[in-house]
Structure 1
């Protein structure tokens, strides 16, 4: 038992970054302000807005650091786009009338760092009664589609619905920024120019391939798109045309959107039929500061150490190996996480996000 509790590692003391999904989860629309990561939730309860809106006529707090005028930058992108084989018509349409979006720059510079406790984030934002109720309704209404998706991708329908719920409130909040304008702004202003320039060309490729019209390509302030909130480069890798109409439409086509989430999980190693984890009651003498959160062990080992299931019963020892998982800024809740929890966190890395998606998937099913 000593080896479990004596670790000096304390990775769970890290402050949670409220990433793109958490920000959108926390502020229903609020300009759909989201930040890039792996993908931006709508919410039933709101956090304080991460960036106060500028008063009319006020100077923006953050000015671009770009070394060239925006118009010249756009012309350079068009020139490179033509070299990449993009059509002139698509380029002209995509960049018609766009300007640097100062709100995008503000949000990029002032991404909030987390002060929200795990319990509040869990109960008010991610696994609220309203979200659970809506999740169950959407799970039932789309049962036939979800079964077909599961047959093809071997991913649990409940986790698909949970991701759909926390990312965009079941498709109801996919973002209000023009994706090309947002990405062009971020690529031009310079702070992360290379990353966003690549995402900009990935977005232009989506338009060139005809998957979505330019006027429908809306998303978060960082360019995360559609019901799954994929960045454009992830669209290229993971979006699928599930209904066979020749377009991968993750904005307006529910079948494509949900199947694309499933494909993401499938390609990232989801293990069919395995659980993500469970809440546990630790044995006497367990301390959060000394917990070994790195070592993976058979469930029978945790049972021998005195861990019990969250309901007070014995641990299910027939489950895969697990490791201790502690919520960031939590008040003492303890989980054992399996391989599929790590897969959930490949969609969006914060530990609290992964745990909340897991809990929501259990409740919607």
Structure 2
């Protein structure tokens, strides 16, 4: 489902997230070609593909896959060089969150989503009743993942996963997904010719990876098959099932744009810090719309996706449920704003710091290295701005008296360079 951050990359296509987290600084579509960037050094396989396939066949049969299922699925399969290239691509540059949102929550996508809500009103009502997940959120994810079923990817999933299992950066993960894909074929949910998806094996209108499919895909139209490719009811219900299983709370908003008071301690903007909504409000935080949330005891976290100079949000467990679908703050924010836009909302009161150019991958690595030189612990210098790096940035910002929002900027990098 799961995948392009300077807003963190995650799992929109869960396999893409897992395979590309170390590479992508920004969320991209599962069906787009990988951004041009730095390619990692390619290790040559130690055996031929035919030798690997024969060894994997024994593993698959031991896992319960029939010989006929395996042989049929692998007929004519050879490694896909474009998958290897995509897997090893490490984009040097990334879009800032505001540019991502501009395309993700475009007026065209909003209008298309509103049309889909009307066209699928009956099935969405049944999904609401079955899973307790608001239809706007389900349709927003549908739009984000596959443009409402129009862009599911066109690659043979077995071929893509076989390539990743044979010579991908995470072969064990690729093998697990390949076994799961063969289980889907053996179950009869889809013929191999229709099992299409992204280069990373994310499938159908939901962009589920095979293991996620096996856990959460449902047959909602009652035809005996869990068809997330050709059946919109199955795809939408599967998305709702995933969100519900991830902790979605019916009737709760994903979050609220807020205004922070002067002198606010920005170090509290951390997804690991949870407080009841009314406790944040007692600190002087104001809901930008003026509409108070229905549950003042709801546990929420403060999110600053572009640092202290950009919009601020208090986000709920429903935001976290979206993050489990795709562990990218940009993606989850886009889903929430898109769902709000379907209802006529979604406009932000705050402005984005447009002059803050996102750091390139090389600059992010340099920033991490400089933090280490200053005695901080950002983790591995890999260009990923994760929790450890943000914690190190906050500590450094506090040491120099800057707002401790944990957000990497060119100005911050410049300060570290001067002090090195």
Smaller-chain TM-score bracket: 0.7 to 0.9
Asked whether the equivalents of residues 41 and 167 of structure 1 are also in contact (C-alpha less than 8 Å), the reply is no
Q: Deviations over 1:36-74 (max 9, x none)?
A: 44999759xx9995138xxxxxxx996553211001111
Per-residue CA deviations over 1:341-365 (Å, capped at 9, x if unaligned) read 1111011111111111111111123
1:272 Cα deviation after fit: 1.2
Tell me the alpha carbon deviations over residues 249-284 of structure 1, each in whole angstroms, 9 at most, x when there is no partner. 111111111110011011111111111111111112
* 1:116 maps onto 2:95 in alignment: yes
- Deviation per CA, 1:68-94, whole angstroms, max 9, x where unpaired? 100111122223323333232222221
Q: 3-state SS of the aligned residue for 2:257?
A: strand
Question: Which consecutive residues of structure 1, in runs of 5 or more, have no partner in the other structure?
Answer: 1-13, 24-33, 53-59
Instruction: Give the 3 Å change call, closer, same or farther, for CA 62–199 of structure 1 in structure 2.
Output: same
Matches within 5 A, 1:218-297: 218-286=196-264, 288=266, 291=269, 293-297=271-275
Q: Aligned residue for 1:184? A: 162
**Structure 2, unaligned runs of 5 or more:** 21-26, 344-420
Asked if 1:318 is matched to 2:309, the reply is: no
- Which of 152, 155, 158 in structure 2 is aligned with 1:174? 152
192-201 or 74-83, larger mean C-alpha shift: 74-83
Residue 56 (structure 2) aligns with: 77
Structure 2 counterpart of 1:29: none
Conserved 8 A contact 2:34-2:86? no
Aligned residue for 2:396? none
1:35 aligns with 2:16: yes
Secondary structure of residue in 2 paired with 1:322: strand
2:311 corresponding residue in structure 1? 333
Q: Answer yes or no: is 1:16 the counterpart of 2:7.
A: yes
* Other-structure match for 1:164: 142
SS in 2 for 1:344: helix
Number of aligned residues: 331
Alignment of 1:26-65 (within 5 A): 35-37=16-18, 50-51=35-36, 63=42, 65=44
Identify which range, 329-338 or 148-157, moves more after superposition. 329-338
Deviations 1:157-215 (A, max 9, x none): 11100111101111111111110001000101152111110100100111111110111
Q: What is the deviation of 1:15?
A: 3.6
Tell me the SS of whatever aligns to 1:35: helix
TM-score normalised by structure 1 residue count? 0.82
Q: 2:116 corresponds to which residue?
A: 138
Local SS of the residue matching 1:212? coil
DSSP-derived class of the 1:68 partner: coil
Report the counterpart of residue 47 of structure 2 in structure 1: 68
Q: Which residue of 2 aligns with 1:353?
A: 331
Contact 1:38–1:231, Cα closer than 8 Å, also in 2: no
* Higher relative contact order (Cα pairs below 8 Å, separated by 6+ residues): 1
Match of 1:256, SS? helix
* 3-state SS, counterpart of residue 324 of structure 1: strand
